[in-house]
Structure 1
Amino acid sequence: MITNKIRTHFITTAILAGTLAVSGAAFAKNPMVGGAAMYESKNIVENAVNSKDHTTLVAAVKAAGLVDTLSGEGPFTVFAPTNDAFAALPEGTVETLLKPENKDMLTKILTCHVVAADAMSSAINKMVADDGGAHPVKTVGGCEFTAMTKDGKIMIEDGKGNVATVTIADVEQSNGVIHVIDTVLLPAS
């Protein structure tokens, strides 16, 4: 009788430990971005505002009036350029885009970083492979970019021939997914 109680206790403890390990892994699976934890229970905007690497993107989203849209139901896949990506644009570009009179152009550029789908890296890799190495990506902003892979990394070529590399993939959000990129994507015209 004591042996059965001890055995039951050990089995219960093992099951509980396994459950905690699995649930802990579920909370830990989202990568940190810009020094901040990204939570699957928060939307794209709620998470982005905490990333020190995306302050320029957040300022641009606010200036373009896209906060409500990107806080919406989705699903969205956002290719999120870092502050360094914005800094690599020609001098004065960001400041010019943030002016109220350039809101339409800013909105176009930002929405060209958004796809109306929840596209995890595994799905993107499959589409690229199925299409022989290059898959067209249609964005909310009306741009068509090309997804490809190189050395195991997803890359996006924009309308001007610039290539962005996904540096952090699969940051799950309550309304989609973010892929951090190292280059601002620009429309063909």
Structure 2
Amino acid sequence: MLKTLIRTTAIATLFAAGAAYAQDNGASAPTAETPAAETPATTSMSDEMPVVGGAPMDPQKNIVENASQASNLTTLVAAVKAAELEETLAGEGPFTVFAPANEAFEKLPEGTVDELMKAEGKEKLTKILTYHVVPAEATSEAVMKMIEDDGGSHAVKTIEGEEITLTMEGESIVVTDAQGNKATVTQADVTQSNGVVHVIDTVLMPSE
């Protein structure tokens, strides 16, 4: 109430001074109805979105729609299409996807990606891709809490059926697959309309 009284008094004083000035100089006094100048908004929605591979990730779009815009996820998107998993990953979810960047696929033995993309490699490719997907939404904060609560290591089941193991190395989340390969989360918490994506630097492999 005191702030309101002070503000009201200040405004009254301002208009009184304006009126006096107007009388002395023959000008019209300002009125309370005079609209204040509007300041145009300069922050666009894209400025607030996380950027992956140079593209803003729209939280209103699904995993497939957003991944298709990221220049560093082109191999993953091609693999998802080859395995015909687009409809699955565009579904309601929620999903947590550990998304291998292009550099992760480049670490695989020469020719591996090409073989997986062939029709005869579809079954194996599907197993690999679904091994990167957890049927729940887990932000990095939630993941770190689960790791801490479990004494430093937390296993989660993927939609492929096998588990991946989550640990911390320094401040980074590390995902260990069934073959002992380790992937580091390089970009976390990319929110999607049907879950969340964490970009990783190594392709995870289920057991043979």
Question: Does TM, normalized by the shorter one, top 0.5?
Answer: yes
1:117 pairs, out of 136, 143, 148, with 136
3-state SS in 2 of match to 1:166: strand
1:126 aligns with 2:145: yes
Deviations 1:138-189 (A, max 9, x none): 1001121100011111110001111000000000000000000000000022
CA contact (8 A) 2:117 2:125 kept: yes
Deviations 1:111-163 (A, max 9, x none): 00000011100000000000000000110011211000111111100011110
Residue 30 of structure 1: how far off its partner (Å): 3.7
In the superposition, the TM-score normalised over structure 1's length comes to 0.87
State the distance in 2 between where 1:56 and 1:32 align: 18
1:50 maps to a residue whose letter is Q
Larger radius of gyration: 2
Q: Structure 1 residues 139, 188: CA separation in 2 closer, same or farther (over 3 Å shift)?
A: same
- Residue in structure 1 matched with residue 27 of structure 2 by the alignment: none
State the distance in 1 between where 2:176 and 2:49 align: 26
1:3 maps to a residue whose letter is I
Alignment of 1:1-189 (within 5 A): 3=11, 28-189=47-208
Q: CA RMSD in A?
A: 2.5
Larger RCO (CA under 8 A, 6+ residues apart): 1
Percent same amino acid among aligned pairs? 55
State the distance in 1 between where 2:163 and 2:64 align: 24
In the superposition, the TM-score normalised over structure 2's length comes to 0.80
State the distance in 1 between where 2:162 and 2:177 align: 8
CA contact (8 A) 1:165 1:181 kept: yes
Residue 31 of structure 1: how far off its partner (Å): 2.0
State the distance in 1 between where 2:114 and 2:132 align: 19
